[in-house]
């Protein structure tokens, strides 16, 4: 599944050298001839549309997309950032994943969210809690789980460290 997703993302984000970069009213001549031109822009738009349209499904699965970053470079990245709004039983996770069997990108994102949210059990006896999950839709894809201190340190605590 990961290998297929990697190839799908790579195809979506990597400009094809034999493609012509046609201009439209919103594209400058420089953008049209650039490898990060209209072709890449269209692919990024498609990924963003797919992620934003899946908002209701993510919410049912217990997550909401709080932020979306787009990095433009040799290998562009789309970085949706999620927070967990509710926990669902592990037995229900497969129901959501099966709904997405023809949508590999969304299936990967949801599968990653489920796995990353279970990582909070690793930090049960600490004062850190799950703060967010960032997924890098790029070639290669990656997932970052962010934990944050529940109670901020006071200045006295910092001095005593």
Parallel, antiparallel or unpaired: strands 63-71 and 128-136:
unpaired
Four-CA torsion 80, 83, 88, 91, nearest 10 degrees? 40
If pLDDT is split at 50, 70 and 90, which confidence band does 34 have?
A: very low
Q: What is the pLDDT of residues 132-157, one digit of tens each?
A: 999 999 988 999 999 999 887 666 55
Q: Is the pLDDT of residue 55 over 70?
A: yes
Task: Give the pLDDT confidence score for residue 145 in this predicted structure.
Answer: 96
The strands making up 63-71's β-sheet, listed across from edge to edge, are: 63-71, 77-84, 128-136, 142-149
Separation between Cα atoms, residue 17 and residue 149, nearest integer Å: 47
Facing residues of 133 across strands? Answer: 82, 145
Among candidates 119, 60, 115, which has minimal Cα distance to 85? 60
Q: Enter the pTM of the model.
A: 0.73
**112 half-sphere exposure, CB direction, 13 A CA radius:** 24
Q: What is the pLDDT of residues 5-28, one digit of tens each?
A: 556 666 665 555 444 333 344 444
Task: Give the pLDDT confidence score for residue 159 in this predicted structure.
Answer: 60
Q: What is the pLDDT of residues 62-103, one digit of tens each?
A: 999 999 999 988 889 999 999 999 999 999 999 999 999 999
């Amino acid at each position: 599944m990961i290998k297929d997703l990697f190839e799908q993302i790579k195809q979506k984000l990597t400009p094809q050298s034999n493609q012509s970069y046609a201009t439209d009213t919103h594209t400058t001549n420089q953008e049209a001839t650039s490898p990060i031109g209209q072709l890449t822009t269209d692919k990024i738009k498609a990924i963003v549309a797919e992620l934003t349209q899946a908002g209701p499904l993510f919410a049912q699965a217990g997550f909401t997309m709080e932020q979306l970053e787009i990095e433009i470079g040799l290998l562009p990245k789309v970085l949706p950032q999620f927070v967990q709004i509710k926990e669902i039983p592990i037995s229900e996770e497969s129901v959501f994943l099966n709904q997405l069997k023809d949508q590999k990108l969304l299936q990967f994102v949801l599968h990653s969210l489920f796995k990353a949210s279970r990582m909070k059990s690793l930090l049960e006896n600490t004062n850190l809690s799950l703060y967010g999950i960032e997924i890098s839709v790029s070639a290669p894809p990656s997932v970052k789980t962010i934990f944050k201190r529940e109670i901020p340190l006071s200045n006295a605590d910092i001095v005593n460290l």
